[in-house]
Structure 1
Amino acid sequence: MQESLDFISSLPCEILQQIISLIPLKEAVRTSILSTAWRSLWSPFQVELDIDSSHITSDEASKKLMQAMAMFLKSRTSPELLKFCLSIPEKEKGLVFFAIKGVEKELCLDFSGGKQITSNFDLILEPSCPIETLSFSSLKTLHLRSVNHLGKNLVSTLFSNCQLLESLKLEKCTGLQSIDIKANNCLQSFIVIDCPNMVSITISAPSLKSFWYRGVLPQIQLKTSPQLVDVILNLREGLGQNEFDCEDVLSLLASLIDIEILTISGWLLEWLCTAGVIFGRLEFQFSKLKELCWIGSLMDRPKRDSLACFLNIVPFLEKLFVNIDQSYSSIPCPFFHHYWHEPHLWMDYATVKSNASQVEHLKLFKLIGFTNEEDQLLLIDILLNKATNLNSMIVTSLDNQSWRVSKIPYSQLKQTSRCYSKQVGISSPNKECYFGLREEDSNGLCPANGQCL
């Protein structure tokens, strides 16, 4: 059989450049792995600037750098890659970063190309009067990667000139300890991923609709975000070097009562229950929450029971996803010196089941990472009893095979098995019934915010 030829890669560079100019930046960058021809499109043009990066906020230095950035953004070539080199007097290496411009008013600044110096720093981002006419009004999306203490002034100055910025992402900023954002009415999306030294995040953004976070648990304060509807708290790295403050976490949850979609790490709910929090007695509920995604490395008894307790304050929940990902780190729960906790927490299963609240509005439950373990089956049993209007219950195994779950009395087991040849029967842990697992295509049943970072 004749091998297929790669005709597209043999096209002239001008045509290849035109092709990638028609697709979003994230997809365009991926073309660099296709072949040498595509990779050559991403050869950076180097820009040398004689600016002391430690004084980037001075009027003269800021004006010079912002002019260079403005010329870069106004050029007609998209996407385009530039390498900026800023000198630092009396030092061998200055600030080096790559700037990648996308076709859809996107800009990515990557500081990982230079020498990585671990030094703790804070980042304050707030709008201010732009430098002359350099308002960067065309910029809608800003992605910052590996920002260090040398680049923080540049980032702050650039942000203050992005008057119409709608989306901001911070990723892999080692040394970054705190973020303080005071945004205008345009910022709608804020994402923070893998900043291992993070201690605190303060956000004031009147039009913010989504806040996605992945990393260690910091102190998070949402001061002015009345339009927030979608939140991810993927705390897969645990506490890091921070301390667990129950009041801070409850204050954060209280600021999220109007959201509609929430992803949260299971260990955080377990720790709150262990520390003495009784969800049913809190002064707030998530009355607008329609979709909840629980994530963790395993489903054991404390995590199962704490999730059941948390459901007491989500009375109108319609979709529940439980994502068990064994690649996540296991976060062991410490011992808290309290004599009170959820009334049925860690009691026998019959007591837990009888005290669990009805989830009358739940229509869909999907368990991802199903391994047929007892605590998973007990959670299924609770929901089958308490979710009176449940339309669909799906479990997906580690090899991505899915089954629809139904409750089958022992008396109907043989009859049901004859009707569905591909159905598997699993006895419930309490031996009251069987769970019927019938093969199901559930690829379209996913959390609204994708893969939970």
Structure 2
Amino acid sequence: MEESLDFISSLPSEILLQIISLIPLKEAVKTSILSTAWRSLWSPFQVDLEIDSDYITSDEASKKLIQAMAMFLKSHNSPELWKFCKYGMVFSAIKGVQKELYLDFSVDKEMKSNLDLILEPNCSISSKHSIEITSFSSLKTLHLRSVNHHGKSLVSTLFSNCLQLESLKLEKCNGLQRIDMKANICLQSFTMMDCPDMIGITVSAPNLKSFWYRGVLPQIQLKGSPQLIDVILNLREGLGQNEFDCEDVLSLLASLKDIEILTISGWLLQWLCTAGVIFRRLEFQFSKLKELRWIGSLMDRPKRDSLACFLNIVPLLEILFVKIDQSYSSISCPIFHHYWHEPHLWMDYATVKSNASELKHLKLVKLIGFTNEEDQLLLMDFLLKKAATLNSMIVTSPENQSWRVSRIPYGQLKQMVRSYSKQIGISSANKECFFGLKEEDNNGLCPENGQCL
């Protein structure tokens, strides 16, 4: 393998460029770690723009920026890295062969800012620079990193003319507090990750199919997106500097009632139950949800019971993933002063189990990060009891060892152990039965499409 890599690395740079031009941008960039020869392909071409930062919004500044970016996008070399330098702003730009553009402002200063993105032609600019605008309009994927106060003007101008844009991703935008985006029918995917100062997100995109978010809990409004299918709410950083507003969260959940795939942080369900929400009494259900992914730092009794409560409004659920990741931050639940609340959180396990709805369509359960804790065992027992048509339950330890689970009454334990050479028994927490764990040949770490954020 090493000999093959050395041989490929010894090829002329023109051939190496041809190789990386045939693969997606994300994989192409990774070649820079292979050797010095590959790394040299990513030496940036530097563009110095002599523009005073005090006039960043002027027509002349916009003209120079647009012309420079258009020249970059029209270049025949792909993938390619340019570094743009001007007074008050430095950023790098990488374009890929599949109409991808990656902008990184991380070397610039961080300042508090908001970002308004409107996906429609910017008439004041396009009338003067129609050729340059044509270069932007063919972009399919736009990836923005560390967008800041100085960079947002360029980003807004660029976005407004990416008329065929299908995928937008923002990450590590420190200082960015709010984003208001209005997109056309082309945009199908919006991802936002690790923006610690985020307060509010408003998205209007009629053909949006996936919304993936990771970070602190902001106020999120998704307007006019009837095609939305897949949503990730990985709130691993808790509230940040924001306040918890139960009504805002319920409004968000109501807007997601027709999605088919949902990833959600366990602490949010627990807080809703503790704050007074009774899921059975809500005016909506997740009537189309087929796949649910619960993620959190631990599975304790309140989180287990709040998940059981939430399952009452997911009548057609077919697949459930529960990921317990101890590297996640532990989010402590505050004290809420309410006269009514989700009663499951104050009931014993037997009552919770008897009052919960049957999971008539649940076929597959995966417990990731299984540690044999009592509350995890009770969750297994609950799911095996309520899901009459369950085909498979797989548990995976933090060490990535996986077992297939079956519920074994005490009277059948000896017979079941004889039938499997690699099976162990764990007594259920309520001492009603054993769980038979048969070792899996392959692990069940992640959902089939691998999207855990």
TM-score by length of 2: 0.96
Structure 1 distance, partners of 2:4, 2:268, is 52
For 2:99, the aligned partner's letter is: K
Q: Is the 8 A contact 1:258 1:288 kept in 2?
A: yes
Q: CA deviation at 1:120?
A: 0.8
Q: CA deviation at 1:127?
A: 2.4
Q: Classify 1:340/1:137 alpha carbon distance in 2 versus 1 (closer, same or farther; 3 Å).
A: same
**Residue 127 of structure 1, aligned match among 119, 133, 157:** 119
Structure 2 distance, partners of 1:385, 1:322, is 17
Counterpart of 1:193 in structure 2 is 193
Q: Classify 1:451/1:369 alpha carbon distance in 2 versus 1 (closer, same or farther; 3 Å).
A: farther
Q: Is the 8 A contact 2:121 2:163 kept in 1?
A: no
Q: Classify 1:323/1:197 alpha carbon distance in 2 versus 1 (closer, same or farther; 3 Å).
A: same
Measured against aligned partners, the alpha-carbon deviations of 1:370-406 in whole angstroms (never above 9, x if no partner) come to: 0010000000000111001100000001111111000
1:300 aligns with 2:285: no
Counterpart of 2:410 in structure 1 is 410
Structure 2 distance, partners of 1:51, 1:379, is 61
Counterpart of 2:102 in structure 1 is 108
TM-score by length of 1: 0.96
Q: CA deviation at 1:128?
A: 3.4
Counterpart of 1:90 in structure 2 is none
Structure 2 distance, partners of 1:113, 1:349, is 53
Q: CA deviation at 1:452?
A: 1.3
Structure 1 distance, partners of 2:329, 2:172, is 18
Q: CA deviation at 1:68?
A: 1.2
Residue 399 of structure 2 aligns to a residue whose secondary structure is coil
Gap runs ≥5 in structure 2: none
The 5 Å alignment of 1:294-443 reads 294-443=294-443
Measured against aligned partners, the alpha-carbon deviations of 1:66-109 in whole angstroms (never above 9, x if no partner) come to: 1111111111100000000122xxxxxx2000000111000000
Structure 1 distance, partners of 2:262, 2:178, is 23
Q: Is the 8 A contact 2:394 2:444 kept in 1?
A: no
Q: Is the 8 A contact 1:57 1:154 kept in 2?
A: no
Structure 1 distance, partners of 2:436, 2:372, is 13
For 1:334, the aligned partner's letter is: P
Measured against aligned partners, the alpha-carbon deviations of 1:298-348 in whole angstroms (never above 9, x if no partner) come to: 000000000000000000000000000011000000000012111222311
Residue 177 of structure 2 aligns to a residue whose secondary structure is strand
For 1:79, the aligned partner's letter is: P
Structure 1 distance, partners of 2:20, 2:402, is 37
Identity %: 81
Q: Is the 8 A contact 1:57 1:157 kept in 2?
A: no
Q: Classify 1:338/1:450 alpha carbon distance in 2 versus 1 (closer, same or farther; 3 Å).
A: same
The root-mean-square deviation of aligned C-alpha atoms, in Å, is 1.4
Residue 418 of structure 2 aligns to a residue whose secondary structure is helix
Measured against aligned partners, the alpha-carbon deviations of 1:16-58 in whole angstroms (never above 9, x if no partner) come to: 1110010000000001111111000000010011223454443
The 5 Å alignment of 1:102-251 reads 102-114=96-108, 117-130=109-122, 131=126, 132-133=129-130, 134-135=133-134, 136-251=136-251
Structure 2 distance, partners of 1:145, 1:3, is 36
Structure 1 distance, partners of 2:395, 2:451, is 16
Q: Is the 8 A contact 1:217 1:239 kept in 2?
A: yes
For 2:120, the aligned partner's letter is: S
Measured against aligned partners, the alpha-carbon deviations of 1:245-273 in whole angstroms (never above 9, x if no partner) come to: 00000000000011000000000000000
Q: CA deviation at 1:349?
A: 1.0
For 1:102, the aligned partner's letter is: G
Please identify, of 371-380 and 347-356, the stretch whose mean Cα deviation from structure 2 is larger.
Answer: 347-356
Q: CA deviation at 1:161?
A: 1.3
Residue 310 of structure 2 aligns to a residue whose secondary structure is helix
Q: Is the 8 A contact 2:359 2:388 kept in 1?
A: yes
Residue 9 of structure 2 aligns to a residue whose secondary structure is coil
Matched residue count: 444
Gap runs ≥5 in structure 1: 88-93
Q: CA deviation at 1:5?
A: 6.6
Structure 1 distance, partners of 2:443, 2:372, is 20
Residue 345 of structure 1 aligns to a residue whose secondary structure is helix
Q: Is the 8 A contact 1:108 1:142 kept in 2?
A: yes
Q: Is the 8 A contact 2:396 2:444 kept in 1?
A: no
> When you count helix as a share of all residues, which structure comes out higher?
2
For 2:74, the aligned partner's letter is: K
Residue 213 of structure 2 aligns to a residue whose secondary structure is strand
For 1:39, the aligned partner's letter is: R
Structure 2 distance, partners of 1:446, 1:3, is 33
Structure 2 distance, partners of 1:148, 1:299, is 38
Q: Is the 8 A contact 1:53 1:151 kept in 2?
A: no
